[in-house]
Copies of this chain bind each other. A is one copy, B any other.
Amino acid sequence: MPDTAGEREESLDVIERELTAFARRARAAAARLHPELPLVSYTLLSHIDDRQGCRATDLAAHYMLDKSTVSRQIATLEKLGLVERHPDPTDHRIQVLHPTEAGTQALASTQASRHAAYQQRLAEWTADDLARFAEYLLRYNAAGGASTPGTGTPL
């Protein structure tokens, strides 16, 4: 495998194509995985659980979503009894978000099936390959933060 410019280009193309394909499939797959809990809500709920006491604005920023979108998602989650909103005593603009007992449970069950799916899918891989793949993904995602905001928005 020579380190030529051509090889590089080719790998880049493959990465671009496959990541895109993955992104396209992800939604469909995730939607089926747990129809009870509306995909996006799951994502947000997961984040709320992760960083207990976060605010709607945090979610919007982290996922590049509009305020209004998050607002409605939260409303849905609350209606489903999965999250609670407590007004911040020190600042009455803020709503502090927490998962309810039911929310924590729903999350656990969803995470379980997700984990099982991955486990099955990657069953054939060697531990070494898994480790390297994991490392590459980490590296790829970590690169996202900085860069020139105006220029190319990396996928």
Chain A residue total in the interface (Cβ 8 A) = 70
Shortest CB-to-CB span from A118 to chain B, Å, is 5
Shortest CB-to-CB span from A17 to chain B, Å, is 8
A122 touches B26 (CB 8 A): no
For A32, the closest partner residue in chain B by CB is B153
Chain copies in complex: 2
* Interface presence of A52 (CB below 8 A): no
Q: What are 16 of the A-B contact pairs (CB < 8 Å)?
A: A12-B118, A12-B122, A14-B135, A15-B130, A18-B141, A19-B22, A22-B22, A23-B27, A24-B65, A28-B63, A28-B65, A114-B155, A116-B152, A125-B139, A129-B136, A133-B136
